[in-house]
Structure 1
């Protein structure tokens, strides 16, 4: 669904954060247990760890090594492509970061934001005010990647600089744009290398990090 979100059977995950798929908060922090596959090299494991720690700098999310008493946790492995489930699924929750294509800080942040409960920017409920989706340019069969979702936007503005935003040529069948900014059709976007201020603010608002 939407390119890199794995669908969970029996759950309409949107907006699942209002229905139990948020990670629990204990006092000041949200602890998210993780396991990183031994299939990665030492350097690759360290890169994933460094990318996870970027959340510690700006939010109340804290990634911790899974202990025997942790039932729900994220399992990072080198699967087929880059993808994640949306929100906490309970139990062992897969996050695929293919070792030869997904190990970029922005990609790790992107997939982790999915696991925390966040959608792609260009499918948010108010997107039609800001972008045009050019369906005639989308690869046949990929149209579902652009379906609008009833999201909780947490009072934050539409953000072309979000690490969750597709590029303007995403899933193009002919080299022409599939997404255009209404305010400026020449605007380029979808190239974020790090979470934006809005990405960080949304995590902090959803998980009430300042409370």
Structure 2
């Protein structure tokens, strides 16, 4: 039997805060934050873990349908979506606190509530793996989220991988991307072409967002230093350096999980 439904959101929030001392590590002060796109690309360069779209572990038993039709949403109880978590003891206290503080950003702007795993069969397990990666949406059992200690511990990177786990794809592969960007195939590094494959995403009525923490840079997976993604409205536009969730990222979480509505 799961126990999170008896915990109030206020209790959960205070429970997390009680573990976070005022001297917790500052991610941007500790190591240069290159922006989520470059951070993930560097951390995952050359790793053996099988990934699609740069940082997503494929589930071979699930097709590429949008999350709302493929059963990968996390369940909602009342007004909140409770997502159990485990954080590996291989992290230092400060590193754990950075992850916790990053999770708390969802508490402040959405109805997602992260709770400690007890006997839950479905949960997120944060550990220092080979790079920065996650599964797409809720899986049938406990699922890993890799945040390598020496390359992935930034607020934006935690948010990015958690958004994958909540069911969200990269912005540049959304279903209407061809209205907004051009993909320059001739500049893409051989073997990484699938990272640009358009997906049948549910965009939840939100606009294409160059400021999204889920958007990769215009030079992502470039073979020659030339752009691989170019804005159609402004070819000189730079993007992919977001350091936190945008308002559209937050709006999508709230729309997908019907935040503000009890269930």
Aligned to 1:206: 256
Whether the 8 Å contact between 2:63 and 2:70 is mirrored in structure 1 is no
Give the 3-state SS of the residue equivalent to 1:23 in structure 2.
coil
RMSD of equivalent CA atoms: 0.7
Greater relative contact order (CA < 8 Å, ≥ 6 in sequence): 2
Whether the 8 Å contact between 1:110 and 1:164 is mirrored in structure 2 is yes
Structure 2 residue runs of 5 or longer lacking an equivalent are 1-51
Whether the 8 Å contact between 1:13 and 1:87 is mirrored in structure 2 is no
| Greater strand share, structure number | 1
| Greater helix share, structure number | 2
Give the 3-state SS of the residue equivalent to 1:51 in structure 2.
helix
- What does residue range 32-181 of structure 1 map to in structure 2 within 5 Å? 32-68=83-119, 70-181=120-231
1:21 aligns with 2:72: yes
Structure 1 residue runs of 5 or longer lacking an equivalent are none
TM-score by length of 1: 0.98
CA distance in 2: counterparts of 1:148 and 1:74, whole angstroms: 26
Whether the 8 Å contact between 1:154 and 1:206 is mirrored in structure 2 is yes
CA distance in 2: counterparts of 1:209 and 1:19, whole angstroms: 20
CA distance in 2: counterparts of 1:13 and 1:194, whole angstroms: 26
Whether the 8 Å contact between 2:67 and 2:168 is mirrored in structure 1 is no
Aligned to 2:61: 10
Offset from partner CA, 1:48-87 (integer Å, 9 cap, x none): 000000000000000000012x110000000011000000
Whether the 8 Å contact between 1:79 and 1:98 is mirrored in structure 2 is yes
CA distance in 2: counterparts of 1:51 and 1:19, whole angstroms: 27
CA distance in 1: counterparts of 2:67 and 2:244, whole angstroms: 25
Count of matched residue positions in the alignment of Structure 1 and Structure 2: 210
Whether the 8 Å contact between 1:17 and 1:87 is mirrored in structure 2 is no
- TM-fit CA distance, 1:112: 0.2
- TM-fit CA distance, 1:18: 1.8
CA distance in 2: counterparts of 1:31 and 1:186, whole angstroms: 41
Query: Runs in 1 of length 4+ with deviation above 3 angstroms?
Result: none
Whether the 8 Å contact between 1:30 and 1:62 is mirrored in structure 2 is yes
- TM-fit CA distance, 1:198: 0.2
- TM-fit CA distance, 1:13: 4.0
Give the 3-state SS of the residue equivalent to 1:111 in structure 2.
helix
